């Protein structure tokens, strides 16, 4: 069983993906981490984040241990990821890894949940279930702002919202694999839902797809 979850940042994809993976006993791949690791590899070389050659080379050289770097959850990593992810060579280099994960999930699991931006459209177009999770930019910025404060980091609400909108535009407007719902995706707006309600709604879609 393959579950594809796409949508913009802070829409609730990550939490939902983890809960669905636990519920169905599936492997989980947060594909944003791959792009974050590539972005941070470029940043650590002090290279230009918009240089396609450097970004592609970093994607080709990516190792599993790079996904464990502690700085991948920072806003700097999110920004770097959003920039390198527009490079076709980066997407190509990461595609095989993602498809391999879905085809041969680790730990003898019988399937996988992948979350990202182009899972239902490009990485796993034949997924059994496709979910496209959204929420308003204001709600997503508010969630992100609270998360940063909870982690003891400084944040300015207006800045978080502006960054969110900038990243949304970059992810949606890029030429290769832009953020967009697959034609057969179930769309779920979590603006007024908590994590339990979003999980219940997703289970409803999955059960209806299997009957
Ligand atoms: O989900 P995230 O915030 O960790 O993703 C960080 C960036 O990576 C996001 O701005 C776009 C990019 N990304 C992508 O282009 N394709 C994916 N499947 C996952 C993430």
Domains of the chain listed by start with CATH number: 2-193 (3.40.50.300)
Across the chain, mean pLDDT equals 94
Give the Cα separation of 180 and 7 in Å (integer).
Answer: 8
CB atoms within 10 A of CB 122: 19
Using the atom order of ligand 1, give the atom closest to the CA of residue 14: 1
User: Which residue, 119, 122, 127, 106, is CA-closest to 13?
Assistant: 119
Share of the chain above pLDDT 70, in %: 99
The arithmetic mean of pLDDT across residues 82-88, rounded, is: 94
pLDDT, residue 153, reads 85
Least trusted range by pLDDT, from 1-10, 65-74, 156-165, 195-204: 65-74
Listed residue (190, 140, 164, 137) closest to 5, CA to CA = 190
How many helices and strands in the chain, by DSSP H and E?
A: 8, 5
- What residues are paired with 28 via a beta bridge? 113
Which pair of structure tokens corresponds to residue 103?
Answer: 């085809």
On whether the CB atoms of residues 17 and 5 are closer than 8 A, the answer is: yes
pLDDT at 73: 87
| pLDDT in the model for residue 74 | 85
Instruction: For residues 87 and 33, give the distance between their C-alpha atoms in angstroms, rounded to a whole number.
Output: 16
Q: What is the mean pLDDT of residues 181-199?
A: 96
Of all protein residues, the one whose alpha carbon is nearest to atom 1 of ligand 1 is 32
Ligand 1 neighbourhood includes 36 CB (under 6 angstroms): yes
Cα angle 116, 120, 125; round to 5: 135
Closest CA relative to residue 183, chosen from 136, 130, 123:
130
Q: Is 35 in the pocket of ligand 1 (CB under 6 A)?
A: yes
Inform me whether the pLDDT recorded for 22 exceeds 80: yes
Q: Is 167 helix (H, G, I), strand (E, B) or coil?
A: helix
Q: What is the mean pLDDT of residues 76-102?
A: 94
Ligand 1 mutation target, pool 133, 171, 174, 181, most atoms within 8 A of CB = 171
CA–CA dist 9, 67 (Å, integer): 19
Ligand 1, atom 6: nearest CA belongs to which residue? 32
State the pLDDT at residue 28.
Answer: 97
Predicted pLDDT of residue 211: 63
Decide: 128 and 20 in contact? Cβ < 8 Å.
no
Q: Give CA–CA dist 140/162, Å, rounded.
A: 11
């Amino acid at each position: 069983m393959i579950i594809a979850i796409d949508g913009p940042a802070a829409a609730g994809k990550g939490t939902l993906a983890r809960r669905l993976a636990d519920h169905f006993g599936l492997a989980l791949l947060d594909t944003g981490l791959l792009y974050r690791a590539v972005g941070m590899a470029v940043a650590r070389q002090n290279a230009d984040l918009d240089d396609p050659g450097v970004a592609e080379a970093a994607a080709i050289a990516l190792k599993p241990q790079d996904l464990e770097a502690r700085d991948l959850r920072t806003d700097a990593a999110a920004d770097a990821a959003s920039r390198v992810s527009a490079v076709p060579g980066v997407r190509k280099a990461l595609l095989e890894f993602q498809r391999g994960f879905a085809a041969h999930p680790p730990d003898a699991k019988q399937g996988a949940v992948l979350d990202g931006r182009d899972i239902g459209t490009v990485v796993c177009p034949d997924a059994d279930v496709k979910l496209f999770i959204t929420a308003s930019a204001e709600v997503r910025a508010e969630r992100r702002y609270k998360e940063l404060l909870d982690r003891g980091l400084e944040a300015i609400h207006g800045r978080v919202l502006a960054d969110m909108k900038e990243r949304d535009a970059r992810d949606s407007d890029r030429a290769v694999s832009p953020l967009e719902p697959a034609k057969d995706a179930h769309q779920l707006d979590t603006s007024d839902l908590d994590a339990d309600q979003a999980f219940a709604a997703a289970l409803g879609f999955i059960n209806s797809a299997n009957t």
